Structures are given as structure tokens and as C-alpha cells.
Amino acid sequence: MRPLNPDKGGFSSVIGLCQNVMGKTRPYRIGCIPISPCSPSYPMQFAPLYPLLYPILQTVFPDCLWSGSPQSRTIALTFDDGPHPQYTPHLLQVLERYDVKASFFWLGTCVKSAPNVAREVYAQGHWIGLHGYHHHSFPLLTPDTLKQSLEKTQATITQACGLNSDRLRDVRPPNGLFTPQTLRLLHQWHYRPVMWSVVPEDWVRPGTSVVVRRVLQQVQNGSLLVLHDGYCGGEDVTQTTAVLIPILLNQGFNFVTIDQLWQLK
């Protein structure tokens, strides 16, 4: 196989696959609320493809955080699309029960809708990252619009939580979609692009047992797990997390935040 060139045809193939796998399985939404259902009846799910896609993208785009050190028994548990006024507080109870610190990638519009929930997440010591103001794929935005989206999200989180905006540097692109230009802009604006290594596709709600099985089949040293506590997938996130954490702890894994995972990379 020829190496993929991220600025030529190889990249087009990869990003095309990303778009098919990720972009088409998420609903359009206004603000936090999806316009179309979050769990449509797809003829197939794409979760089996993610383990194949991840090592390719990790090689092509090494400046993104895809995982931590393979020599360290540490993993990062992350949650996208929140905060949600109902799902996130229940999730926090599970994390507190097991004394696990997670990382949350927030939509600015959801923070605006649930500032008290956002404040509680931050107060409990979890790491906060940016997911854009709305759930819009970054490559579809102009540079100015993308910059405004991230800065508006920073400002909204800062106002809700009272933290310094300089700490809000980690960015996860919605739907996992980005281009080389996206990465150049993020680095230019002093953001850190964060991706994933384990994606159990919980947003289509295949069932807690299915999500747990997918995670346990893929998790390894340094894994970066993605679950969702927003309107898509958030209904099951508390139960899924409550099942996963004790199993992973019993397997000897330690949970770290995204900031800690960067240091262990």
C-alpha cells in the first residue's frame, strides 16, 4: 500500500471515508436539539470500521491526539455533545462514585442552555474541551466562521464556569471531520486537536451491552474513548458508563484526563 499523502489524493480517500462513516450517521440539529431522530434504523452500523480507520488517520495526522502511550496502563474517557440538563448530572454521579475524572467536549449552545450543569462538571474537576458552538462539521465552515465558533464557545464556557479561557485549548471536530487546513488553523490559533481511538457508536443507541462489548474488544493501553452525553446517545450514557468503569478498573486501567494524556503521549 502506498503511503497516504494528506495534501493529495490519499487524503481525499481518507476524508471521504470519514465523511461516509461519521458524517452520515449523525442527525442535523439546531443548537442542542436534533432535527432528525438520533437512532434511525440504519441498514448497517459502521462501528467495525473505526478500529481500521484509526491507525491510518493516526499515521497521516500525527499532530492530533489519538491516544496516549502504549506503555502506560492509562486511558481517557471523554464525552461529546453536552452538557445535557438531564443526562449529564446522572453521569456525574457515576463518575463521582468511582472517583474517575473524565473530559467533556462541549457545544457552546448547550453550555448556554445548561450553565449550571456545566459549572458542576467543572467544579468536580473534569477536563473541558471545545466541540464548536453548534454541531457543524469544521470543513464546511469558513476560517472566520470556525474561529468565531470556537471563540464564542470559549466565552460561553468561561462565563458559565468562571475558568480562564487559556485552559480551553483542546478541540474535537464534530463528526471527526477535518482537513489539513483545519489542523493548520487550529495550530495557528493555539488549539490542540483531539480525536479518538475507541468509538463504539453509542449515538445510534445500539444498546448498552453492544456499546460495552465494542469498548472492551478495542480498549488497550493509552486508549481514548468517546461516548456521548448529549441529545444523541445521552439516554444510555449513565448506564453504559456505570457498567464500563468497574470492568476497566478491574482490568488494571487508570483513568486520566485529556490534558494528562497529552503529557503521556
**Nine-digit cell at 233?**
446517545
**Nine-digit cell at 135?**
454541531
Rounded to the nearest 10°, the torsion over CA 98, 174, 217, 54 is: -130
**Of the listed 80, 81, 170, 236, which one is catalytic?**
80
CA distance linking residue 258 with residue 255, whole number of Å: 10
The candidate with the shortest Cα–Cα distance to 201, out of 21, 13, 18, is 21
CA distance linking residue 27 with residue 254, whole number of Å: 33
Asked about 80 being catalytic, the answer comes back as yes
Asked about 170 being catalytic, the answer comes back as no
Residues 6 or more apart in contact with residue 220 via CB below 8 angstroms: 70
**Nine-digit cell at 58?**
493516526
CA distance linking residue 259 with residue 100, whole number of Å: 14
**Of the listed 126, 131, 228, 236, which one is catalytic?**
228
Q: Just list the catalytic residues.
A: 80, 228
